[in-house]
Amino acid sequence: MAERDAAEVCIGVLALQGAFREHLACLRKLPRVHAVEVRTKEQLAGVDGLIIPGGESTTMALIAERWGLIPELRSFAAGGSPVWGTCAGLIFLADRATGQKEGGQALLGGLDCLVQRNFFGAQVDSFETQLPAPEPLSALRVSGAAAPAPGADSFRALFIRAPAVLEAGASVEVLAEYRLSPTEAEAQGRQSVAVAVRSKQLLATAFHPELTDDLRWHLLFVEMVRERLRGSSSLRKRGPDSAPAAPERAGSGTRPADLPVVGPSDAY
């Protein structure tokens, strides 16, 4: 396999279940980013950062346990490699979770927070809204891509059977909050919940940036990976055995084509 550009970063997306193809499609729109599916510990060892997509968190955990990936994923995150969890991925990264199915599920941990699974309700309660953009996001612009101009003060957030952060420790930075309606606030005993958090090399969002055409959350994660690599003496050296495989083309073989992003007026 031809050697990749030394300035290119390799981002893996955990491809056990859920919206991993949508994340891959977003990453492949960014310059100097190599995006690959991750299903084995060997593939995990070949990436600079990992995205854990939205999906069914209990199912994803069971598959990861069956394939012996839980210890490898914990080691990857604990070793300082950047990890971003969206929706189900947020639950995975939390130290504590509530609202889980009987018997619970494996958590990777690392984020000092308490997450409630399905905080916003069932599939029929899915919704979208505009939320204020945190400073790290509002300063970003993706060259040649459909992203808001620098200084854009909000972003589009899609919540699908979404969790929420109920408690966050001192080491966790809250990047975005969702303000509850008066009825919700009375029922929950709180005015708002955190829906995007960051702690060192870990990023987590309750919503689905991969289902919109705003690439800034993906670019923010890529910048986290690059910052991590700049802190090392050099990019990770990969031999032929650890080099990630070339990405599949959408629709190739028997794999279904990537789903399109949800447009501003589309249903989901």
> The tokens of 14 are what?
């955990």
Catalytic residue among 10, 26, 87, 113: 87
Catalytic residue among 26, 113, 177, 208: 208
CA distance 75 to 261: 32
Two tokens, residue 93? 């990264």
Active-site entry in 37, 177, 210, 218: 210
Q: Quick check: helix, strand or coil at residue 219? A: helix
Closest CA to 238 of 29, 9, 13: 9
Q: Which residues pair with 78 in a beta bridge?
A: none
Is residue 72 part of the annotated active site? The answer reads no
Q: Is 184 a catalytic residue?
A: no
Collapsed DSSP state (helix, strand, coil) of residue 118: coil
Give CA–CA dist 87/24, Å, rounded. 16
**Rg for the chain, CA atoms, rounded:** 18
Give every CB contact of residue 112 below 8 A, 6+ residues apart in sequence. Answer: 95, 168, 169, 170, 171, 172, 199
Q: Quick one: which of 236, 240, 174 has its CA closest to 205? A: 174
CA distances to 128, 155, 167, 189 from 181, in Å: 14, 19, 19, 11
For the question of residue 210 being annotated catalytic, the response is yes
Residues designated catalytic? 87, 208, 210
